[in-house]
Structure 1
Amino acid sequence: MVALPDPSSVKVYTVNGASSSTSSSLPDWLTRKRQAKGKGKRAVKEQVEGTIELIQHFEFPEASNRVKTTRDGHNAIATGTYKPHMKVWDLDELALKFERHSDVENVDFVILSDDWTKTLHLQADRSIELHTQSGFHYRTRIPKFGRAVQYHFPSCDAIIGAAGNEVYRLNLDQGRFLNPLVLQGTDGNGGGIEGVNAIDINPAHQLFGFGIDGNGTIEFWDPRSRSRVGLLHLPHNRLIPTYAAPALPIIDDGSSVPALSVTSISSRSDGLSYAVGTSTGHTLLYDIRSSRPFALKDQGYGLPVRNVSWVEGGSRMAGDGLVVSADKKVIKIWDRNEPTSNFASITPATDINDVHHIPGSGLLMLANEGIKMTTYYIPQLGPAPRWCSFLENITEELEDQTTRTVYEDYKFVEKSELESLGLSHLIGTAALKPYMHGYFLSLKLYDAARVIANPFAYAEHRERMVKEKMEKMAETRIRAPKNQPGVKVNKQLAERVLREEERNRRKEERKKKRKEAEEDEEAMDVDEEGEVEGDGDGEDAERPNLLNDPRFKSLFEDPEYQVDENSREFALANPVMAMRKRAETEKAEKTGRSGRTKTAVEEEEEESDKRSSDSGDESAEDEDSDDSDNDGSKESRHAEQALRMASGIDRRDQRNPQVRMVPMRAQADGRRAPDKDASFGQRRSSKGVSPKAGRDSMYMNRVADGGLEMSWVPSGASDAKERAERKKAAAKKKDTFGHGMERGGEEREVRMTESERSGRTHRRQGMRSGSKNTFRRM
């Protein structure tokens, strides 16, 4: 269901067929052929998103000629081609009831009964066919080619207008033709009458109205006296100048006047008003008591008016004074008191053959030159019929939805882009539609020009799509490091923000614990620690940062804000990171791995090393820093790192204070001066070194071939008395019970650091990794 674009506030919904904004540029026969095949990518789907089919199979193979509904409102009947046939739809079931073929194309038809069972058809070969419920009933012929047909219920006469000045009468009760009605024309002898294009029977007083082709008049006949009771002349001076083409020199002498014809007539149920459509594209409204029109409406295209009708009952706006007029191109609904303004205007995708308004509703049915017949629903015109009352609920739901616009198949381009495509010469032509600071260009023309201007556009687009897909797949690997959700660019900046946030959180937690320890010397319970941590998390969630601030959302999503880490400005603002990156680059060049892409395992290990070293540095700095404002500042950290790098001290050697780094030379005792040039083995095997009593001894001697002999002698029996006293003291404090279990004994006071009590918060340093050939230091 698609809302047609219209300047007014009146919404027009297409509930069958295709509107002008959704129509395809392909011909209907090709669309139909693709629907029948339904194979390959070029197949057209029958149901398009956003559209509905109110009545199923509401279509003809080629085109439709006429459409009408029965008086009881339960069925719709239409005729069309190719092949010529008639279709009947059951409106209560919203489906096709049956179809019936004929030999000749139908010109017009009329429904004789209140339902679909009896119809009369005027054929293009001068024949008249009668159809009943069981099928074709009878066929007869008229002398001349027919143009219009109507049925007079009181007398059972079928009134048939044809070429010439005669109107034929076929009495269906007697089953024979009656004397025809001979039109008199303007001279009384039928002069100037080329035929009868339209017939109207007034429902109030049964007055016949015949629209004449050729002289622009309407003759009114009384069926009781079978004679003419009035002649209406259309205003040539008001209609012809707007319609006539300029006279050609020499060819046109100016004596010939363009013909004016009446193409449609419709009388109102009050019996006083008539609507007349002309071949010049005008619609005139008359009062039967006056020969001057009280309203004049121009369709705007200069095409003959195909159909004109009154909106009777059910209208929701402007009372019941609305008129529907349609030519080949456009349908206009307007008020009889204000013909200059339109209540609604509809421009279908295909040419119009007939328009039928369902009385008392806002539904219009169209017979057109397309495959699918079109149905429009206008909620402001009237309610939905009883058999499709659900339309009102559907239209209410569609009020908030985005509708298609006229420019959906166009591309908006600026003037600079237009010059890059080489289409600047089209400025000022119909190919470009100016709008704001640019132009609307046809989408097909834009695609063609872009391919010509850049032949590799598709290859670049494909390469970009493949790269994005590969990056997306790389993120889903099992060993790949997890990134922050929503962070697409500047991931290192996001990691630094998170590390800074985590460091501040730990610092605040230490301050809290230190303050609580001063107030209370006893250790806090686990529950209390949990409450403290929970409070800290709550405050942490409320603390704004770059990641959760909506003002900086584009910094981590838009590629335009990507930080160039190779630029000079970045190196000046971040000297440490620039130095580290340069060292990594030099190392990669030396090892010859600069051209090889790192695997996911290597990237994870490198990232984990970086995070662990950063966390280790931060924890060491946090433990050594005071509560002053200067500790943890960037200047102090940079100065300290530069000092250590200059002095050649390895920072990893200072992480474990229990490791004592000693020179690889033997310490000499006081009895003998050491020889500086002697090796470690020579000093160890010197005669002045002797083992002390009660300790293990190790002797090293040089052998004749230059090697070393080393012997180790465990210590002898130690002080038995001292051992017995320690064992006796320990036995007093221990209680032994079954299965080798004991309780009590000497308890040692264990002093634990803050990290040992709360657990490790960073990676172990100086130990062997599962994926690297490194060893822990002893």
Structure 2
Amino acid sequence: MVALSDPTSVKVYTVNGASSSTSSSLPDWLTRKRQAKGKGKRAVKEQFEGTIELIQHFEFPEASNRVKTTRDGRHAIATGTYKPHMKVWDLDELALKFERHSDVENVDFVILSDDWTKTLHLQADRSIELHTQSGFHYRTRIPRFGRAVQYHYPSCDAIFGAAGNEVYRLNLDQGRFLNPLVLQGTDGSGGGIEGVNAIDINPAHQLFGFGIDGNGTVEFWDPRSRSRVGLLHLPHNRLIPTYAAPTLPGVDDASTLSVTSISSRSDGLSYAVGTSTGHTLLYDIRSARPFALKDQGYGLPVRNVSWVEGGSRMAGDGLVVSADKKVIKIWDRNEPSSNFASITPATDINDVHHIPGSGLLMVANEGIKMTTYYIPQLGPAPRWCSFLENITEELEDQTTRTIYEDFKFVEKSELESLGLSHLIGTAALKPYMHGYFLSLKLYDAARVIANPFAYAEHRERVVKEKMEKMAETRIRTRKDQVGVKVNKKLAERVMREEERNKRKEERKKKKAVKEAEDEEMSVVEEEEKGDAGRPNLLSDPRFKSLFEDPEFEVNEDSREFALANPVAAMRRRTEGERNAKESKSGRRKTAVEEEEEESEKGSSDSEDEDKEESEDSDNDDLRTGSRISRHAEQALRMSDVSQSQRRKNPSVRMVPMRAQADGHHAPDKGASFGQRRSGKALSSKSGKHKDTHDSTYMNRTADGGLEMSWVPSGSSEAKDRAEQKKSAAKKKDMFGHGMERGGEEREVNMSESERSGRKHRRHGMRSGSKNTFRRM
């Protein structure tokens, strides 16, 4: 089942045959050849994939001429060729009931009974055949070649329209021909009448309507008096000058206007008339002027016109179905300029039959398969195929195929690169705008021939895209930076600054809440609401391209960036030198290690910023204590970092960091770095050493720097230890210019075995050259 796209958004489903969107580019004779050979699995899959066959074997070997359904709605009858024959389908079983062959091709037929058992056929050789349930029943002939046939139920008269101005009558009750109806024409003598193309019998008052070929008129006859009661002239001036089809000089007359089809409505007042110029006119029997005019657009004769009776869901019973050889149009009688639905089959149309009270259309065409369309908005599905309602409801929720899904749009330049420019002007290419529509299968075959390595290039491109996606998943990014593609460092700096501002605001608000009264609290809440809606650099849509467009990426290696950000440039240069050393040593850090270092740096920076902010809000005593705790925590953290680095790179031998107590003197502000390190500083006033009850510690960081801190101590043991160190410092021997011997003594806790030396013999032979010396 295929849904055809329509400008009016009315869904048209093809439930039998091939639509214009699924038609094969192969000719019918090749399709028949494949069917005769018993197609393989591939051909069967290509033909039936995405389609539904509502009625099985709904087809003819060559083409179909006419199609109709019985009045009880249980059977469908159609005639076709070649060889000429009639087929009957049982709609309850959705299958073919039987087929019956004939000697001559059928022109038209009528169903005499409520079911399929009695039919009357008008053949192309002027013969008339009667068929019953048992088969062929009787054959007779009419004087001239017939064009149309109808059956008048009250009088049992079969009426035949043929060439000339006579309408023949065959009474099936008496079994003989009656006197023909002689049409008078415009001059009263039948002049200008070339034949009767269409016959209509109004179901309300049984008035006969004859569509005349040659003079563009419709004659109405009363069956009771067997005389003409009215003559309808078509608006010749409105149709011929503008819409006349091209004619051959001396062969066709441009002034010829013919009526090709006619249909009356069940109300007995409205008539629809189709012309040879491709127009459909709607008349009220009480007026000689048409109240609606519809142009098919192709200038081809109208093959069929009918009224939609009952079951309409959108526009009541005011819809009209008109069809020529190319297109089927369904339109409203009150708005003929717009189409309710438009259907363009893949093959030429011979006949269209609308099943009364439903949205189903059956089409007899020049193709092998007859086509059936279902329009849910036109009417419900018939009783024998009610399941179409559920199928179409499910398809409406899915993605439907478009008309040109099986075609590829190519330009002329691309057509030349594929070597298919010689197909221009043939049926293989459909011109559209500045290019052509080409069959998708033919396009794929030509592309493979033109570039045999297209698949390998496509596969390489797909693999590369997958690898890039996998690489992106391995990089752990923050949730608030998912959309950041460039300038990630700037985005991180903006986020840190925003978080710091938020923490400042929270502290200020907490302090204000403690001091403010109830009225002032409401003012604070209003300020919060105002600040919450303020966008930052990341959330502001005006700066969206700054973090997504690669053209806005900041080049940190440029000279302009170094001049504007000297500290960041120096840090970047130092990191580059360190990476160069690591690359020379033969080992580089993994991506996980780099991410851990960056996270540690970011966390340390944020912690330092938080602690600095907290120092500003506290008093001096609390500030001193927080600084001491911060230095202690940082010393522990740096020791943990060094241990983790030692575990990651066991070949690097790191010197253990120790806290050294260099003295108990608190240096003055004016003391030198050496005096502060040794704990001896002269007082700014007395010039003597100033004794304090403090101990100074020095930590050596992993990058070779020094970090000093002090811890106040008031115990007597600390004082005794300071006295001992002071006396030892006095015993230093001085010699030379500024040189001394001795110095500070470091307390070393040694075990008993280390004091007495080794007492046992070494186990195993070991040369002195293999001893390992450790640097402390």
- The reply to whether TM is greater than 0.5 is yes
1:224 aligns with 2:224: yes
Distance 1:411 1:655, change over 3 A: farther
* Pair 413,227 (structure 1): closer, same or farther in 2 beyond 3 Å: closer
Deviations 1:561-617 (A, max 9, x none): 99x9x9999xx99889978997999899xxxxxxxxxxxxxxxxx99x958988999
Question: Could you give the per-residue CA deviations for residues 199-247 of structure 1, whole angstroms, max 9, x where no partner exists?
Answer: 1111122222221211222222222233333332222222221233689
Please state if 1:462 is matched with 2:456.
yes
> In structure 2, what is the Cα distance between the partners aligned to 1:243 and 1:627?
86
Aligned position for 2:310? 313
Please show how residues 32-181 of structure 1 align to structure 2 within 5 Å: 32-34=32-34, 37-39=38-40, 45-49=46-50, 51-181=51-181
Contact between 2:407 and 2:438, CA under 8 Å: does it hold in 1? yes
* Alpha-carbon distance, 1:175 to partner: 2.3
Alignment of 1:416-431 (within 5 A): none
Provide the rounded CA distance (Å) in 2 between the counterparts of 1:294 and 1:458.
63
Q: 1:222 to 1:54 in 2, by over 3 A?
A: same
Structure 2 match to 1:324: 321
3-state SS, counterpart of residue 92 of structure 1: coil
CA deviation after TM superposition for structure 1 residue 17, in Å:
2.1
Q: Give the Cα separation in 2 of the matches to 1:621 and 1:336.
A: 79
| Alignment partner, residue 522 of structure 2 | none
Q: Which residue of 1 aligns with 2:14?
A: 14
Give the secondary-structure state (helix, strand or coil) at the position aligned to 1:237.
Answer: helix
Distance 1:398 1:203, change over 3 A: same
Alignment of 1:238-637 (within 5 A): 238-244=238-244, 257-408=254-405, 442=437, 457-465=451-459, 487-489=470-472, 491=474
Aligned 8 A contact 1:107 1:122 in 2: yes
Aligned to 1:208: 208
Deviation per residue, 1:278-302 (Å, 9 max, x gap): 1111112222233332322222211
CA distance in 2, matches of 1:13, 1:34: 26
- TM-score (norm. length: structure 1): 0.61
2:20 and 2:599 map into 1 onto residues whose CA distance is: 70
Counterpart contact for 2:410–2:437, Cα < 8 Å: no
Counting only pairs closer than 5 Å after superposition, residues 183-198 of structure 1 correspond to structure 2 as 183-198=183-198
Q: Distance in 1 between matches of 2:160 and 2:441?
A: 55
How far is the alpha carbon of 1:115 from its aligned partner?
0.5
Give the distance between the partners of 1:303 and 1:651, measured in 2 at CA.
93
1:273 Cα deviation after fit: 1.9
Q: Secondary structure at the match of 2:242?
A: helix
Asked if the contact 1:410/1:441 (under 8 Å) is kept, the reply is no
Query: Are the equivalent residues in 1 in contact too, given 2:23–2:346 (CA < 8 A)?
Result: yes
Distance in structure 1 (CA, Å) of the matches to 2:259 and 2:131: 30
Distance 1:567 1:487, change over 3 A: farther
Under a length normalisation based on structure 2, what TM-score does the superposition of the two structures give?
0.61
> RMSD over aligned Cα, in angstroms?
5.8
Shift of 1:140: 2.0
CA change 1:615–1:215 in 2 (3 A) is closer
Residue 43 of structure 1 and its aligned partner are, at CA, apart by: 5.9
Deviation at 1:558, TM superposition (A): 14
Q: SS in structure 1 opposite 2:200?
A: strand
Structure 2 distance, partners of 1:381, 1:346, is 13
Work out whether residues 351 and 368 of structure 1, in 8 Å CA contact, stay in contact via their aligned partners in 2. Answer: yes
Cα offset for 1:3? 2.8
**Inter-CA distance 310–415: structure 2 relative to 1 (3 Å threshold):** closer
The range that moved more, 104-113 or 283-292, is 283-292
Letter in 1 for 2:258: S
Aligned residues: 579
**Larger deviation: 70-79 or 324-333?**
324-333
Deviation of residue 366 (structure 1)?
A: 0.9
How far the C-alpha of 1:352 sits from its partner, in A, is: 1.0
Q: Which residue identity lines up with residue 462 of structure 1 in the other structure?
A: A
- Residue 307 of structure 1 and its aligned partner are, at CA, apart by 0.7
The letter of the residue matching 2:46 is K
CA contact under 8 A between 1:35 and 1:44: conserved in structure 2?
A: no
Per-residue deviation, 1:336: 2.2
- Given that 2:218 and 2:233 are in contact with CA atoms closer than 8 Å, whether structure 1 keeps it comes out as yes
- What is the SS of the residue equivalent to 1:487? helix
Is 2:21–2:406's contact at 8 Å kept on the other side of the alignment? no
How far the C-alpha of 1:119 sits from its partner, in A, is: 0.9
- 1:489–1:558 CA contact under 8 A, matched in 2: no
Query: Is the 1:409–1:442 contact (alpha carbons within 8 Å) kept by the matching residues of 2?
Result: no
CA distance in 2, matches of 1:215, 1:260: 6
How far off is 1:353 after superposition? 0.7
For 1:75 and 1:12, how far apart are their aligned partners in 2?
A: 23
1:45 alignment partner, SS class? helix
Residues of 2 paired with 1:653 and 1:709: CA distance? 23
State the secondary structure of the residue aligned to 1:46.
helix
Unaligned runs of 5+ in 1: 425-429, 476-482, 498-553, 589-605, 658-691, 701-707, 711-778
C-alpha spacing 1:405/1:583, structure 2 compared with 1 (3 Å): farther
Q: Please list the CA deviations of residues 751-777 of structure 1 after superposition, one character each: whole Å capped at 9, or x if unmatched.
A: xxxxxxxxxxxxxxxxxxxxxxxxxxx
Distance change >3 Å, CA 197–CA 652, structure 1 → 2: same
Question: 2: CA distance between counterparts of 1:626 and 1:205?
Answer: 96
Query: Residue type of the partner of 2:376?
Result: P
- Write the letter of the residue equivalent to 1:459: F
After superposition, give the CA deviation of every residue in 1:235-277 in whole Å (9 maximum; x if it has no partner).
22222212336899xx6799x6521111111111122222111
Distance in 2 (alpha carbons) for counterparts of 1:197 and 1:578: 94
Q: Distance in 2 between matches of 1:584 and 1:422?
A: 57
Q: Deviations for 1:70-129, whole angstroms, at most 9, x for unmatched residues?
A: 000111111111222211111122222222222221111100100011111111122211
Give 1:47's aligned amino acid: F
Q: State the Cα distance separating 1:309 from its structure 2 match.
A: 1.0
Q: Is contact 2:349–2:363 with CA below 8 Å preserved after alignment?
A: yes
Q: CA 1:699/1:654 → structure 2, altered by over 3 Å: closer, same or farther?
A: closer
| 1:699 to partner: Cα distance | 12
Structure 1 CA distance for aligned equivalents of residues 365 and 328 of structure 2: 12
- Give the superposition deviation at 1:423: 13
Q: CA deviation at 1:67?
A: 0.7
The amino acid of 2:111's aligned partner reads: I
When structure 1 is superposed on structure 2, of 224-233 and 572-581 the one drifting more is: 572-581
| Equivalent-residue separation in structure 1 for 2:77 and 2:71 (angstroms) | 11
SS at match of 1:263: strand
Q: Are 1:352 and 1:369, in contact at CA under 8 Å, matched by a contact in 2?
A: yes
1:238 & 1:617 partners in 2: Cα distance? Answer: 87
Q: Which stretch of structure 1 is more off in the superposition, 263-272 or 5-14?
A: 5-14
Tell me the CA shift for residue 150 of structure 1: 0.9
Measured after TM superposition, the shift of residue 69 of structure 1 is 0.6
What is the letter of the counterpart of residue 344 of structure 2? T
What amino acid maps onto 1:218 in structure 2?
V
Paired residue type of 1:145: F
Shift of the alpha carbon at 1:304? Answer: 0.7
Change over 3 Å in CA distance of 1:329–1:577 after alignment to 2? farther
Superposed CA offset, 1:673-696 (max 9, x none): xxxxxxxxxxxxxxxxxxx99954
**How far did 1:169 drift?**
1.9
Are the aligned partners of 2:10 and 2:377 in contact in 1 as well (CA < 8 Å)? yes
| Aligned AA (1:353) | N
Q: Distance in 2 between matches of 1:322 and 1:698?
A: 114
